[in-house]
Amino acid sequence: MEKIKILKSTDKKYPLKLLEIKDYPKELYVIGNEKLLNKKSIAIVGSRDCTNYGAKYAERFAEQISKENICIVSGMAIGIDTCAHIGALKEKGNTIAVLGCGFNHIYPEENTELFNKIIENKGCVISEYPPETEADLSKFPLRNRIISALSMGVLVVEAKHRSGSTVTAKYAKEQEKKVFCIPGNIDLKTSVGTNRLIQAGAKLVVCAEDILAEYGFPVKIDETEQEVIVENEYADVYNVLTYMPTNINIIAKKCKLDISKVSQKLLMMEIKGYIKSMPGNEYVRL
Amino acid sequence: MMARRIPSILPDLTFEEALETTKIHSIAGILSKDIPLITKRPFRSPHHTISSSSLVGGGKIPKPGEISLAHNGVLFLDELPEFNKNTLEVLRGPLEDGIINISRVNASLTYPCNFMFVASMNPCPCGYFGSKDKECTCSPTSIEKYMGKISGPLLDRIDIQIEVSAVKYQKLEEEIQSENSETIKQRVNKARKIQQQRYKEVGIYANSQLTPKLVNKYCKLDKESKEILKNAFERLGLSARAHGRILKVARTIADLDEKENIDSSHIAEAIQYRSLDKKYWKN
């Protein structure tokens, strides 16, 4: 493992952005590329049990924002946070993960792999807690103040009512930063938080350009939808699919094919990367 | 209900098989006076509170357990994750070998247990994971815990895993003409005959009995199918142990299709039957 650096709040290298908040951490434990801490950043946060929709757009927004050489800050939890880091890593690693525990007790454990990947790709992982500190739920909301302090604005992708992500948004407001939200289906629990934030004045965004425009980046919105062209033999099944999950029985009924034929075609399209299968025998376009 | 119908589409018992099954039932003392010879394939569905010794057999002088009573028939375990984890693990050996050795103080016996293992389960504790009608209320950890009750090695031994969605009330009332068991059975018998013919020289009679060496001989793939299988393993995160199973299932699909060689559509269908292997279940 790489060496852990300790930044004291009196150090020259301590990020100025953090000193602007009143309860800034006295010490900051850093692994990886600490230069990122002074870069322009946007935070992307959201629910742990996210939907396919949230995961897809967290990754896409992170990727597109990274393209403009902006760093992506998130909390390295499962769900949206993971997708945001992965999206940023696709664009060569400008990402900061802020942990709510010590480096020796990464939570959740599954994300150790992501942790290593972030560091390998010249990203940065920070924590205000010494390496031996164990994960403890009370610390997670607190680290959110650091996430928002490091960023110019906070994008909330999916959030339940009164969840950690809405806490981050609250900190962002206190620190006078912009809050962005991706709107969601009002039936879903994971959209309640974001939709309410929009109601309370957060900016509704439908593409990464909506965020970039706030910070003076030249914006070229491409409204033309990109048409995916699939091979003729799969076209009939592909045309039935949408971006919302469709059950295999409905697909078969609409194509007037028997299940085994449909399922073969679905598998082939999944292998080719046109579609994705979801729990419950449902399929969506990618 | 679906599981109970399985014996109705299985090939008829041969005379030897009927004798064997009858013997085991006789030893267990459950042969009824009215039916001296069992001619129908047995269907056993023990409750999930069953202990491991009543599942595989046991006692002072070991009596056959449920798996032996299901010899030449079906063992159906409903609500698989509700079973005691240790109870399920004892199935591993018998599933592979088709026999069970039970050693006790008074006797050490070997019973046959060549059965078809059928099980059903919910996707999560609340039962709505992946459902469109109702939101699942389970946390990712509780789903993981629930799925974790069934070990990987046991899952790997299950050739066909499919997800079925809940039937809506409206559908229950609709009358749909579906294939009846009799016609399905005819197709099964036909495929079985093809297999008996093919394996005449090697002394087995069904695809499920193929050893790794025989799989290489009888389940040859063309270039296109090989490509599909390779891509499927890379993209869908299938476990390596699934490889031989997929080939055997593809061979059976080809037999049902009355084709001599496995082609890409057969292999694609077989891959679709590994739904528990797919990655999304483990995230």
How does pLDDT run across A104-134, given as a tens digit for each residue? 888 888 888 899 999 888 899 999 999 888 8
Write the single-letter amino acid at A57. Answer: Y
Residue A104 half-sphere exposure, CB side, CA atoms within 13 Å?
Answer: 7
| Domains of chain B, each with CATH number or no CATH | 3-173 (3.40.50.300), 181-282 (1.10.8)
Taking 60 as the threshold, does the pLDDT of residue B280 lie above it? Answer: no
pTM of the model: 0.73
CATH architecture of A232-285: Orthogonal Bundle (1.10)
- B163, B272, B275, B277: best mutation site toward chain A, by most A Cβ within 10 Å? B272
Residue A151 half-sphere exposure, CB side, CA atoms within 13 Å?
Answer: 35
CA–CA dist A122, A34 (Å, integer): 9
Q: The domain A5-214: what is its CATH number?
A: 3.40.50.450
**Cβ(B100)–Cβ(B56) below 8 Å:** yes
This complex has an ipTM of 0.74
CA–CA dist B219, A106 (Å, integer): 46
**Cβ(B205)–Cβ(B191) below 8 Å:** no
Q: Domain limits of chain A?
A: 5-214, 232-285
CA–CA dist B214, B229 (Å, integer): 19
CB contact under 8 A, A273 and B280: no
Interface of A with B (CB under 8 A): 48-49, 78, 188-189, 245, 247, 249, 260-261, 263-264, 266-268, 270-271, 273, 277-282
How does pLDDT run across A15-59, given as a tens digit for each residue? 988 888 888 999 999 999 888 998 999 999 999 888 888 888 999
Stretch 155-214 of chain B: residues touching chain A, C-beta under 8 Å = 163-165
CA–CA dist B22, B90 (Å, integer): 24
Phi and psi of A127, rounded to 5°?
A: -155, 150
Residues of A in contact with B268 (CB under 8 A): 263-264, 267-268
The dihedral built from the CA positions of residue B245, B247, B251 and B254, taken in this order, carries a sign that is positive
How does pLDDT run across B59-111, given as a tens digit for each residue? 888 999 999 999 999 999 999 999 998 999 999 989 888 899 999 988 899 99
**Cβ(B46)–Cβ(B54) below 8 Å:** yes
